[in-house]
Amino acid sequence: MDNTTEKTGMPLLGDAFPEMEVQTTRGSLKLPEHFSGKWFVLFSHPADFTPVCTTEFVAFQKRYDQFKDLNCELIGLSVDQVFAHIKWEQWIKENMDVEIKFPIIADTGSVAKKLGLIHPGKGSNTVRAVFVVDGKGIIRTILYYPQELGRNMDEIVRIVRAMQIADKDKVAMPANWPNNELVDDHVIIPPATDVKTAEDRLKKAKDGEFECFDWWLCHKKR
């Protein structure tokens, strides 16, 4: 008897994004393979032709160039037929003068189930989830919102930008970066894990390489 079971439910941070083939408004795509070498943001919405979701799609599209400048793509998802997605895109273009240029997954429920997106007590509606996936197909950030709350797209742009800088420079990002109340637009040096490194941190602070409140809280200009 085979006791192995397929993993279901929401993936965790650091997991590889599950491999899947999806039907979208831009044809059939294989994820995460289609975005290989690029970051991507997969975001789910409860349903087409709903007011909050419409404001979100317009907001995502208006920032699409910002995402692309970060080598990051967008892909939406809801448990709706592709025909509904297409008609909704047309409605947005005709009535809002905004052309949606990123693909939207038409899900039968299988993708939402695999990603843990079905809203408890809301039938087949998906939650407002956001998965930020890096160029190696690894899930780096997960956000969940209730149906009643539209997302802040500038925060999602900030997440992608901040995570890319953290990876490149081997640093951490303070709260509200780049407008932190203590260190402004500086980045955080990872805490020392041994005595020698802690002593070196304070020496580098005296030499002007870092600024430190103490050996465990150092920051620098990028």
Is residue 14 included in any domain, yes or no?
A: no
AA letter at 104: I
Is residue 188 included in any domain, yes or no?
A: yes
Stated pTM of the model: 0.90
pLDDT at 121: 60
Is residue 164 included in any domain, yes or no?
A: no
* Strand partners of residue 141: 132
Identify the CA nearest to 64 among candidates 56, 78, 54, 74: 74
Together in a domain, 58 and 27 = yes
Could you read off the pLDDT of 114-159 as tens digits, one per residue?
Answer: 888 875 665 556 778 999 999 999 999 999 998 889 999 999 999 9
Phi, psi dihedrals of residue 26, rounded to the nearest 5°? -115, 25
Contact between 98 and 62 under an 8 Å Cβ cutoff? The reply is yes
Together in a domain, 136 and 187 = no
AA letter at 49: F
Assess whether 212 carries a catalytic annotation. Answer: no
Together in a domain, 136 and 54 = yes
Q: Return the SS3 of 84.
A: helix
Domain that holds residue 186: 170-222
pLDDT at 208: 87
Is residue 12 included in any domain, yes or no?
A: no
Contact between 117 and 126 under an 8 Å Cβ cutoff? The reply is yes
Strand 72-78 and strand 104-106: the pairing is: parallel
Is residue 215 included in any domain, yes or no?
A: yes
Is residue 218 included in any domain, yes or no?
A: yes
**Angle 54-52-28 from CA coordinates, rounded to 5°:** 45
Number of structural domains in the chain: 2
- Which of 53, 72, 212, 218 is catalytic? The answer is 53
- For each of the chain's 222 residues, which pLDDT tens digit applies? 444 445 556 789 999 999 999 999 999 999 999 999 999 999 998 888 999 999 999 999 999 999 999 999 999 998 889 999 999 999 999 999 999 999 999 988 888 888 888 756 655 567 789 999 999 999 999 999 988 899 999 999 999 999 999 999 999 999 999 999 999 999 999 988 899 988 888 888 888 888 999 889 999 998
Report the number of secondary-structure helices (H) and strands (E) in the chain.
6, 10
Together in a domain, 142 and 174 = no
